[in-house]
Structure 1
């Protein structure tokens, strides 16, 4: 596994992390088919490097200005949880190849659609259950343990476990953590917000979803951020339909975030999902001029991340946990959707 300190800034999937095969192609060409290489790089062009050069900047800032909330600190990790041998594992669990975004969209036939509905439904049920566990004093590792158990009890594999070396079965991103928070010994505190990102691999298909939950008595500033982030996702899904340009998603999200003066994180993206964890198309959540249109029976995620302050990310030494540069709060919501003749069907809801 390549350490983050040796990598160039790049545009990332919400769970791909730093495990991409590099490419020298310009940004607008990054997601086309590359014969002989199933994975495409998402390295940013020099034009964008100034916006993203903080991703791998290791900092240790104490406290937050004008806030009683303390910066997040890494806790202790429990041992990796086992998965029974009879449960089907995604190929990347046993492969030594670094995972990345696979060229080509996930467009399904009748059987694939039914499998996607099943995996999406399970992911939604797991996420709903995980949300009921959020309360002051519970450790994020305890949430991971409960999620892990529910997924394997339903005959599925927790997709994050072993993906590019990720050590846990779910992501738990608290307060200023933008994404990829690793469950550990830190107990949740009254007033925290926490994004729980669940992906399950059931019968050969991934269902991917996340939501941000309130822990105890959350202040109005944090509540508004979470509510607007959910609105951004809902508005983006509502416009989806066959033939629609993908760039309309970013404009819809960015326009709504601007109305409330929130930042839209640009370093992490939505993605095609189905028989593979991450595939084309890449879904940008900010205004852009990328090409591409939605196709009937295509599945992908939309997962906007909004911040109260800086949109610049900093990665911890664990090479996964990404937090805001200034320690400001961040929220995220995600659904897996299916493009239908009538618009979009949300697959990850109970």
Structure 2
């Protein structure tokens, strides 16, 4: 039992006020999608966005979901909020694909979504209303969520798979140790949990786990996304291990729609993160010593004279022409092609959004 005191009363009052405020915010359309880039680690170009929820409070500004999601899951607001965010994101995607046709978005589904009988029909309706291809949408689920009711999860995910949407296991490696479910569920991709990526450049055990996940995914024909990429050392290591996709603060924090659209308009990429190519001198002296070079030219001339004496059919070459020919041979020996480094492109300021990277749920 517990003794009820004033602080508990105040807390209940605040929770009730927050619940009423959330309901009103949903009606006023104050919840909006933010977009965190998912980057191809091979080309360092934009591949897609993960859709994250933000509450644009009229007085408090942008509020991350960590402050209200738990309450929304308890009072049943999480479903209409998620569908509202997904609907907005799909509408954006329809227009953005004019700039990048292969662009995709991924959205996180909470465990409570699977208890809703209309989950499939609502998402199918949103896809149809938005006129996007189903394959442009990726649904992210954690291992724990799909294993809570595995049979129902298989049934629903099979329907989404037939529709054409992609299925991604989020926070992979932190849940069930039994990997047999990967054969049971129609999974397209694995997302390596940030806890393994953080510090992997210094921790050999974390690096080994990441390597194992990538190897497993490749063996099963699955795409791998590393989340929480925060520095170039992790980027280089993930590229070397063969990880296809990555997201994290190294590339960008979650962006409001207008900043995400600006990134698309300017065809922004992250190739500036690669090591600069080593510049070479515009002209490099041959490793052959000058004396040997002169001897080589002399031998060439002697060889030409011998050929002319042995083969009477060959006409005699004028001394001036022979000298020019020797100079050409020497130039070919000494000449080195010039290699120029590409100039780096102007970068977008991606530090404008200073909000924590929190999941939709």
Report if TM-score (shorter chain) is over 0.5: no
User: Which is higher, the Rg of structure 1 or of structure 2?
Assistant: 2
More helix by share: 2
Structure with more contact order per residue of length (Cα contacts < 8 Å, sep ≥ 6): 1
